[in-house]
Structure 1
Amino acid sequence: MRERRETLDNDQHLITQVQDKLHEIANDVMYHGTSTANAMSIMSHGFVSSHHGLLGYGVYLASEEKAENFARDAKNRGKGDGATILMCSYHAPRIAIAVTAEEAEDDWQDSYDAMWVGSTSRSTRPELCIANAANVVVIGYKYLGETEYRNPHC
């Protein structure tokens, strides 16, 4: 019983840390990595929610490093040639939290604007899935290997 209590205390500590971080990022910047053709389409027409992700439908955002990896792998995932990272602003006041994607509830979109997971079966890095694509706006882009983001409105 003592071991279970320690585990719960550790879990609660982790959840508190995650909630503090989520408060910081509730209206912050994250990144989306994809092929160059998809990036140009997103910048012209806006995001379209993915229906194939581990967290269900939504727009998937991550750290810049994780987005770069997704962009680098875009061709292998059938997304097209080239690699582009989109810097995105988003609005998600109600964020559900799961330590792993496997722990995320299937119907989170019914009650939350976004789902944050600390890891997935494909990555140990966190990601955020925004339920409503209209709540994600591209504020910059760069091609893989570049250091500076460009203005998407020029």
Structure 2
Amino acid sequence: MSIEWAEDDRLPPGVVRLDCEGPTDGKTYVMYHGTTRVNANSILASGFRQSEKGMLGRGVYLSRDLQKASGYPIGHPEHDRVVIKVKVNVGKVKIIDHQNHSLQKTWHDHGYDTAWVPPKCGMVSSGREENCVWDPKRITILQTIKPKSDCQNKTGNT
């Protein structure tokens, strides 16, 4: 049995989809966060918290790419993964487009609210874009997206 991810693709009012050109300062975008079911329940109950470490340092890691988010956590069984769809006011954005960028882990100390890694810039093995948002209060949860098996997709059940 294979699993696929499905989503209702309607955007909330005032929200735009993040394109390959990257986020614009002060705009609000739809993004996704992949996690386990247990962690998703905790996030839904208490909100997002900054991760302590990562490629871009502290913050909440998100992507506009549902397929990228649905692969997280890496190595975790797919049936236990959940993607949280969110809207994010990105604030002031810093583009981090190569390894060892001078602000790669210190972007927030220089007045930025979000760090953005462009797709296919060589920083992410998947070649997909990534965002790191410093303040979890910039993130509003919209819904959770769970994998659907082929059997469920064929019968129309979820």
Same fold, judged at TM 0.5 (above): yes
Q: Following the alignment from structure 1 to structure 2, what is the Cα–Cα distance between the partners of residues 24 and 133?
A: 17
Match of 1:143 in 2: 146
Q: Percent identity?
A: 27
Q: Determine if contact 2:89/2:138 at 8 Å carries over to the other structure.
A: yes
Q: In 2 relative to 1, CA 69–121 (structure 1 residues): closer, same or farther, beyond 3 Å? A: same
Taking CA–CA contacts closer than 8 Å with sequence separation of 6 or more, which of the two structures ends up with the larger relative contact order? 2
Match of 1:94 in 2: 92
TM-score, normalised by the number of residues in structure 2: 0.69
Match of 1:42 in 2: 43
Root-mean-square deviation over aligned CA pairs? 2.6
Match of 1:69 in 2: 71
Structure number with larger C-alpha Rg? 1
Gaps of at least 5 residues in structure 2 are 1-19, 154-158
List structure 1 runs of 4+ shifted beyond 6 angstroms.
none
| 1:122 Cα deviation from its structure 2 partner | 3.4
TM-score, normalised by the number of residues in structure 1: 0.71
Aligned pairs, number: 125
Q: In 2 relative to 1, CA 25–94 (structure 1 residues): closer, same or farther, beyond 3 Å? A: closer
| 1:121 Cα deviation from its structure 2 partner | 4.2
Gaps of at least 5 residues in structure 1 are 1-16, 148-154
- Hey, which of these two has a bigger chunk of helix by percent? 1
Q: Deviations over 1:102-124 (max 9, x none)?
A: 42613101210000012524331
Q: Following the alignment from structure 1 to structure 2, what is the Cα–Cα distance between the partners of residues 112 and 38?
A: 27
| 1:33 Cα deviation from its structure 2 partner | 0.3
| 1:24 Cα deviation from its structure 2 partner | 8.7
